[in-house]
Amino acid sequence: MYKILIIEDDSIIAKSLMKHLISWGYEVECAEDFKNVLTQFVSFDPQLVLLDISLPFFNGYHWCTEIRKVSQVPIIFISSASDNMNIVMAINMGGDDFIAKPFDLNVLTSKVQALLRRTYDFTGQSHLLEHKGAILNTSDSTLTFNGKKLELSKNDYKILHILFENKGKTVTRETMMARLWETDHFIDDNTLTVNINRLRKKLTELGLNDLIKTKKGIGYLVN
């Protein structure tokens, strides 16, 4: 089931969209806190966003830019400001389509279906894992924090993926080594330490000084 996030401050339009899309089998949420849209986006992890331009606090262009820092999820702008300048700006800011208000719900649904099909039929669904503002994108192996993006190596990504999946729990060194090096051959225990220390250095440069904590003699965790 695809998940769709509606970022629309007109509650009548938002609820109408939500009801209609749910009837088509989608899981739908409407933005609730227009100061912190990105927080809900990461938590819900939708496969498509319907985004109005005129919003309280920050406009749709702002939130499109913020979403694009962490995800390539398809975004459809919905707005009554449908002049050529706004349409061009919406696409240039990272939007995938533009639908002018008022719109026919069935036309919108067909556009949603087509965009989801184009995006996910061959590439699979994106997925985000978040911890204290650090966002791990499992679809492109990147970590984003405070608007800065870090391209992760294979082992860096695996380490963070394991720890983010087990937030608040200590993952033993043995478990991490088994996941990192799926082999029957002996791997020197020091190899994991070297990989963790190398990753910690990269995280510090990103501003994440204490993301990975050590449980002495046991393993590692993020909490």
Q: Note the pLDDT tens digit of each residue in 82-124.
A: 667 778 877 877 788 888 888 888 888 988 988 888 877 655 5
Contact in structure between 85 and 38 (CB atoms under 8 Å): no
Whether 47 and 155 map to the same domain: the answer is no
Whether 159 and 184 map to the same domain: the answer is yes
CA distance 81 to 87: 8
Listing from the earlier edge strand, what are the strands of the sheet with 219-221?
171-172, 219-221, 213-215
Environment class of 110 (CB within 10 Å of its CB; exposed 0-12, middle 13-18, buried 19+): exposed
Which CATH number is 101's domain given?
3.40.50.2300
Contact in structure between 43 and 131 (CB atoms under 8 Å): no
pTM metric for this prediction: 0.64
* Structural domain of 178: 128-221
Residue 173 has pLDDT above 60, yes or no: yes
Place 16 in a pLDDT band, splitting at 50, 70 and 90: very high
> Rounded to the nearest 10 degrees, what angle do helices 154-165 and 189-206 cross at?
90
User: Which of 103, 120, 137 delimits the end of a domain?
Assistant: 120
User: Which of 120, 153, 169 delimits the end of a domain?
Assistant: 120
Average pLDDT over residues 48-57: 90
Instruction: Give the number of residues written for the chain.
Output: 223
